Amino acid sequence: MATLNIDENRFLIKKASIEKITGKWGEVVNEMTKVCKEHLGDHLISVYVGGSVAHGEAMDVKSDIDLYAITDLNDEKIKECQNSWVNNEMDRLNKLYPFQRGAEINLFSIDKLPEGKKLQMKVFATWVWGKDFDQELPPIRLDKETCGRVRLSMKRDIDIAREKLKTASDVKEINKIGFEIAKRLIRSAGMMCMWKVDFYTMETDKLVDMFISFYPEKEKEMRDLYKFEKNPPSDKKEILAMFDSFGEWLVEEDGKVFG
């Protein structure tokens, strides 16, 4: 995901555009959009694509494809879609296009769009089909209020990861849980100090350095967490130990920062 600069009023400057989705990456995006149109029909309102693909910076093996399908479905119907076709289609797409790290189809209700998703649509993603919401979404100012509004709940993420670990037995599954929670915690930790700098990023290496510049006493813990993302542990106990130590500190510090 790209790093964005800010203007003189601290509003984020968008770089993503549909023109930057080209070649084989454009082929995958077109197929993903086609899949959504076929399964959702008139319930599909809009399609956005985010991340490195939307910025023309996608790299083989390293880059995934994040597609956001905005629908008029409620939560129950979205969950039904997830179980009935979304997961199967993602598996098919990943086998069909093995050069990318993962094709993710994410369904959202137009009536319950998360604040973080609105930010991504406005500055990190680009419209590719249906209704373009760009003019309806307000400009995004890089300040403490924005960071507090769009940040993820670290406690919720940790609780979910704990539950997944209870039933995880396969090494690959444990690796995946470790990778995902490490990435989410690093990004959430970055929000605790992002409003103090003059750029916005979700790139974990930059977030780690930024966090350490404000919390030098936690350098070892943050670099260990970064290792979890790059080389996820196979032992559940390592992940759980991190939750009980640095994870708890992050949750507590997040509460102090944002109230």
Least confident of 64-78, 107-121, 178-192: 107-121
Of the candidates 146, 153, 115, the one whose C-alpha atom is nearest the C-alpha of residue 255 is: 153
Residues 40 and 149 in one domain: no
What are the tens digits of pLDDT across the range 19-72?
999 999 999 999 999 999 999 999 999 999 998 899 999 999 888 899 999 999
Q: Tell whether 138 is covered by a domain.
A: no
Residues 6+ away with beta carbon under 8 Å from 172 = none
Range of the domain at 61: 4-130
pLDDT at 114: 86
Number of independent structural domains in the chain:
2
CATH code for the domain of 76: 3.30.460
Residues 112 and 77 in one domain: yes
When pLDDT is cut at 50, 70 and 90, the band that residue 153 belongs to is: very high
| pLDDT of 1 above 70 | no
pTM above 0.85, yes or no: no
How big is the CA angle at 220 (ends 218 and 224), to the nearest 5 degrees? 120
Alpha carbon distance 182, 174 (integer Å) = 12
- Whose tokens are 């979700």? That residue is 202
Alpha carbon distance 40, 78 (integer Å) = 10
Residues 95 and 190 in one domain: no
Q: Tell whether 139 is covered by a domain.
A: no
pLDDT at 3: 86
- Whose tokens are 């939750």? That residue is 243
Which pair of tokens denotes residue 225? 């967490």
